Chain A
Amino acid sequence: MVRERARQEVVSALRRRVAAIERGGGDRTVVPPLTLGAPEIDGNLPHGGLARGALHEVLGGPAEGGGAAPGTALAFIAALAARAAADGGCVLWCLSRRGLYGPGLAAFGLASERLILVRGANDGERLWAMEEGLKCPRLAAVVGEVGRLDLGQSRRLQLAAEGHGVTALLLRPGAAGAVASAALTRWRIAAAPSAPTLGYAGVGAARFDVELLRCKGGRPGHWLLQWNEADDEPDDGQGGTQAGAFAVAAALADGPAVPGLAAARG
Chain B
Amino acid sequence: MAQQGTQRIAAVNRAAAAEGVCPGLLLTDARALVPGLSLQPAAPAADARALAALADWCSRYSPWAAVDGADGVRLDVTGCGHLFGGEGAMLDDLLARLEDFGIDARATIADSLGAAWAVARYGGEVATVLPLDGAAAALAELPVAALRLSPAAAGGLQRLGLGRIGELPALPRAALAARFGREVADGLDRALGRAGEPLSPRPPATTFWSRLAFAEPIGELADITRAARRLTQQLCSLLAREERGARRLELRLYLVDGEVKHVRAGLNRPSRDEGHLMRLLAEHLPALEPGFGADLMLLTAPASEPLAVAQITLTGRELPADDGELGLLVDRLGNRLGMVNVARFAPHQSYLPERAVEVVPPLAPPSDTAWAAAARRPVYLLPHPEPIEAVAEVPDGPPVLFRWRGLAHRVRRSDGPERIAPEWWQRMRAEAAELAGETRDYYRIEDSLGRRFWLYRQGPYGPAPAPPPSWYLHGLFA
Residues of A within 8 A of B (CB): 66-72, 74-76, 78, 90, 92, 98-108, 112-113, 115-121, 125, 128-129, 132-133, 135-139, 190-194, 201-204, 206-209, 227, 230, 232, 235, 239-242, 257-258, 260-261, 264
Instruction: Say yes or no: B330 contacts A202, CB within 8 Å.
Output: no
Is B415's CB within 8 Å of the partner chain A? yes
B379 at the A/B interface (Cβ < 8 Å)?
A: yes
With contacts A99-B381, A101-B378, A194-B450 known, is A202 near B371, CB below 8 A? no
User: Which of B110-118, B157-165, B441-449 is the contact stretch?
Assistant: B441-449
Q: Is B146 at the interface (CB under 8 A from chain A)? A: no
A69 and B278 CA atoms in complex are apart in Å by: 45
Contact partners of A67 in chain B: CB under 8 A: 405, 407
Q: Mark B333-372, 1 if CB is under 8 A from A, else 0.
A: 1001100011111110000010011000010001011111
By the criterion CB–CB under 8 Å, are B323 and A138 in contact? yes
| B333 close to A102 (CB less than 8 A) | no
Question: Can you name the residue of chain B whose Cβ is closest to the Cβ of A208?
Answer: B478
Alpha-carbon distance between A67 and B344 when the two chains are bound, in angstroms = 27
Contact among B342, B377, B449 with A118 in the assembled complex (CB-CB below 8 Å) = B342
B415 A241 Cβ-Cβ under 8 A: no
B449 CB contact (under 8 Å) in A92, A105, A261: A261
Instruction: Tell which of B332, B347, B407, B446 touches A203, judged by Cβ atoms closer than 8 Å.
Output: B446
Which residues from A are CB-within-8-Å of B378? 71, 101, 104
Question: Taking the nearest CB of chain B, how far is it from the CB of A76, in angstroms?
Answer: 8
Question: In the complex, are the beta carbons of B450 and A193 less than 8 A apart?
Answer: yes
- Say which residue of B333, B353, B414 sits within 8 Å of A132 (CB atoms): B333
Counting from the closest, the 6 A-B pairs by CB-CB distance are A75-B478, A102-B345, A71-B476, A104-B379, A193-B450, A103-B377
Determine whether B451 belongs to the interface, using a CB cutoff of 8 Å to chain A: yes
Instruction: Please state if A102 and B357 are interface contacts (CB–CB under 8 Å).
Output: yes
Residue of A nearest to B343 (CB): A117
Contact between B325 and A71, CB atoms less than 8 A apart = no
Whether A112 contacts B347 by the Cβ 8 Å rule is yes
Is B475 interfacial (CB-CB < 8 Å)?
yes
Q: Do residues A103 and B375 form an inter-chain contact, with CB atoms below 8 A? A: yes
Knowing A117-B342, A136-B325 are in contact, say whether A71-B383 is a contact too (CB < 8 A).
no
A193 CA to B452 CA, complexed, in Å: 9
In chain B, positions 360-403 with a C-beta closer than 8 Å to chain A are 362, 366, 368-383
Do A258 and B379 form a contact, CB below 8 Å, given A67-B405, A232-B374?
A: no
A100 contact set on B, CB distance < 8 A: 379-380
Q: Which of B329, B369, B452 contacts A133 (CB 8 A)?
A: B329
Q: Which one, B330, B343, B366, B477, contacts A206 given CB within 8 A?
A: B477
Identify 6 residue pairs between A and B in the complex whose beta-carbon atoms are under 8 Å apart, listed by A's number. A101-B378, A102-B371, A103-B371, A103-B375, A107-B373, A116-B344
- For residue B61, CB closer than 8 A to chain A, the reply is no
B413 proximal to A (CB < 8 A): yes
B381: chain A residues at CB < 8 Å are: 99, 101, 104
Q: Are A104 and B377 in contact (CB under 8 A)?
A: yes
Question: Does A192 contact B450, Cβ atoms closer than 8 Å?
Answer: yes
Nearest-neighbor residue (CB-CB) of A65 within chain B: B405
Known: A69-B451, A100-B380. 19 other contacts (CB 8 A): A67-B405, A74-B380, A74-B476, A102-B347, A102-B357, A104-B379, A104-B475, A105-B379, A106-B371, A107-B379, A116-B330, A118-B337, A119-B337, A193-B448, A201-B413, A202-B414, A202-B415, A203-B446, A207-B450
Q: What CA separation (Å) do A255 and B328 show in the bound complex?
A: 48
CB nearest neighbor in B for A224: B450
Residues of chain A within 8 A (CB-CB) of B357 are 101-103
- What separation, in Å, do the CA atoms of A212 and B225 have in the docked complex? 49
Q: Which chain B residue lies CB-closest to A66? A: B405
Prevailing SS type, chain B contact patch: mixed
Bound complex: CA A208 to CA B70 (Å): 71
Q: Are B373 and A136 touching (Cβ within 8 A)?
A: no
Determine how close the nearest CB of chain A comes to the CB of B135; give it in whole angstroms: 57
With A and B bound together, what is the CA distance between A74 and B333 in angstroms?
23
Min Cβ gap A43→B in Å is: 24
Assembled-state Cα–Cα distance A192/B313 (Å): 56
Q: Does B412 contact A (CB under 8 A)?
A: yes
Chain A residues positioned under 8 Å from B368 (CB to CB) = 239
Contact with A71, one of B405, B415, B478 (Cβ below 8 angstroms): B478
- Judged by a CB distance under 8 angstroms, whether B453 is at the interface is yes
A209 to B451, CA, bound (A): 11
Asked whether, in the complex, the Cβ of B377 is within 8 Å of the Cβ of A69, the reply is: no
CB of B43 closer than 8 Å to a CB of A: no
Task: Give the Cβ gap from B359 to chain A, nearest Cβ, in Å.
Answer: 8
A264/B344 contact (C-beta < 8 A), A203-B444, A204-B413 known: no
Q: Cβ of B414: which chain A residues have Cβ within 8 Å of it?
A: 201-203
A115 partner residues in chain B, CB cutoff 8 A: 344-345
B residues less than 8 Å from A230 (CB atoms) = 373
Q: How far is the CA of A241 from the CA of B371 in the complex (A)?
A: 8
Given known contacts A193-B446, A203-B415, is B475 in contact with A107 (CB within 8 Å)?
Answer: no
Nearest A residue (CB) for B340: A119
Decide yes or no: A232 and B373 within 8 Å by CB, A66-B405, A120-B337 being known contacts. yes
- Shortest CB-to-CB span from B366 to chain A, Å, is 4
Contact B412 A193 (CB under 8 A): yes
Please report the C-alpha to C-alpha distance between residue A135 and residue B333 in the assembled complex, in whole angstroms: 12
Closest A residue to B376 by CB, please name it: A107
Cα A192 to Cα B451 in complex, Å, equals 7
B17 at the interface (CB under 8 A from A): no
Nearest B-chain residue to A241, judged by Cβ: B373
What A residues does B333 contact at CB under 8 A? Answer: 118, 129, 132-133
Most interface-central of A71, A136, A138, A206 (chain B CB within 10 A):
A71
B222 at the interface (CB under 8 A from A): no
Answer whether A116 and B415 are a contact pair too, CB < 8 Å, given A103-B377, A194-B452.
no
> Judging by beta carbons under 8 Å apart, are B444 and A202 in contact?
yes
Contact between A118 and B341 (Cβ–Cβ < 8 Å)? Answer: yes
Q: Which residue of B lies closest to A90 (CB)?
A: B326
B450 to chain A, nearest CB (A): 4
Within 8 Å CB of B444, what residues of A? 202-203
- Residues of chain B with a CB closer than 8 A to A190's CB: 450
Bound Cα distance from A112 to B373, whole angstroms: 13
A15 to B242 Cα, complex, angstroms: 47
- What chain A residues lie within 8 Å of B407 (beta carbons)? 67
In chain B, positions 429-446 with a C-beta closer than 8 Å to chain A are 444-446
A229 to B157, CA, bound (A): 90
Is the Cβ of B449 less than 8 Å from the Cβ of A203? no
Give Cα distance in the complex from A241 to B330, angstroms: 26
Question: Can you name the residue of chain A whose Cβ is closest to the Cβ of B444?
Answer: A203
Q: Give the Cβ gap from B336 to chain A, nearest Cβ, in Å.
A: 7
